[in-house]
């Protein structure tokens, strides 16, 4: 296992201590969350998992977890998810794994949000990581051209076979290649108002706790 994965695993295993018997737990998506699912399975506690992607639902079921959709629960005690970048205000970019829409819905419906990251993801300013924007397929070409004109450098995300990636919600992703985001709030407002944008990967004022895996764990 490389150093980054080891640090992801450390953060994920640390997060497992926040989960108690009887809780309803939002389960994020990604490689760090995969370590968290393994750590949870080892705890052998009884909980309900709320999924944020088909991938997480499948892995959770494989591990013998009870996995439900967000509409099947009346509350979510805590959600544990990864992130692509986190700044010192605990704002972040998510969506590298194309699950940002369900992740944001689950996060917004959670009493507490915990992010698990390796230390390389902590940045003074967000925006080195391309910002994912989930868009409706119809008109996505026009939207991409508009973003291009506005200097947001969009690229249409492709899957491993080189075809247009389609999210679990049936949408496309435009990744914006920005050289740092000076005002995440302004960009978030701008993107949210664009017709055809379903949601974007700026998660502002969402995380309550960030667990950073490195030589030691920082919370
Ligand atoms: C998926 C996400 C992931 O949480 C994010 O991409 C981090 O992934 P990983 O843990 O594999 O580094 O937002 O949409």
Q: According to the model, what pLDDT value does residue 9 have?
A: 98
Q: What is the pLDDT along the chain (219 residues), one digit of tens a residue?
A: 999 999 999 999 999 999 999 999 999 999 999 999 999 999 999 999 999 999 999 999 999 999 999 999 999 999 999 999 999 999 999 999 999 999 999 999 999 999 999 999 999 999 999 999 999 999 999 999 999 999 999 999 999 999 999 999 999 999 999 999 999 999 999 999 999 999 999 999 999 999 999 999 999
Bridge partners of residue 79, in order along the sequence: 26, 113
Q: According to the model, what pLDDT value does residue 146 have?
A: 98
103 catalytic per annotation:
yes
The single residue of 13, 85, 103, 134 carrying the catalytic annotation is 103
Quick check: 39 and 16 in contact, CB under 8 A?
Answer: yes
- Fold classification of 131-200 (topology level): Alpha-Beta Plaits (3.30.70)
Q: According to the model, what pLDDT value does residue 24 have?
A: 98
ipTM above 0.90, yes or no: yes
Q: How much distance in Å is there from the Cα of 56 to the middle of ligand 1?
A: 11
The neighbour count for residue 64, using CB atoms within 10 Å, is: 8
Can you say whether residue 53 is alpha, beta or left, with left for phi > 0 and alpha for psi between -120 and 50 degrees?
beta
Domain pair 3-122+204-216 / 131-200, same fold:
no
User: CA-CA distance, 204 to 93, in Å (whole number)?
Assistant: 9
Ligand 1 contact via 29 beta carbon (within 6 Å): yes
Pairing of the two strands 209-213 and 217-218: antiparallel
Q: According to the model, what pLDDT value does residue 74 have?
A: 97
- Look at domain 3-122+204-216 and name its CATH class: alpha beta
Domains in the chain: boundaries: 3-122+204-216, 131-200
């Amino acid at each position: 296992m490389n150093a980054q994965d080891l640090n992801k695993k450390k953060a994920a295993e640390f997060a497992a201590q926040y989960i108690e018997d009887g809780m309803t737990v939002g389960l994020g998506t990604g490689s760090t969350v995969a370590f968290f699912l393994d750590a949870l399975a080892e705890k052998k506690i009884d909980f309900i998992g709320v999924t944020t992607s088909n991938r997480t639902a499948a892995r959770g079921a494989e591990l013998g977890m009870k996995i439900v959709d967000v509409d099947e629960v009346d509350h979510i005690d805590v959600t544990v998810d990864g992130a692509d970048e986190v700044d010192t205000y605990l704002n972040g970019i998510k969506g590298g794994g194309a699950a940002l829409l369900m992740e944001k819905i689950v996060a917004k419906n959670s009493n507490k949000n915990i992010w698990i990251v390796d230390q390389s993801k902590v940045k003074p300013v967000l925006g080195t990581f391309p910002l994912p924007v989930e868009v409706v397929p119809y008109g996505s070409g026009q939207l991409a051209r508009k973003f291009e004109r506005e200097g947001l450098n969009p690229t249409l995300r492709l899957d491993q076979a080189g075809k247009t990636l389609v999210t679990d919600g049936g949408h496309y992703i435009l990744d914006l290649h920005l050289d740092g985001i000076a005002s995440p709030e302004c960009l978030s407002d701008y993107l949210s108002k664009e017709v055809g944008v379903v949601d974007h990967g700026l998660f502002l004022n969402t995380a309550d706790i960030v667990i950073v895996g490195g030589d030691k764990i920082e919370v």
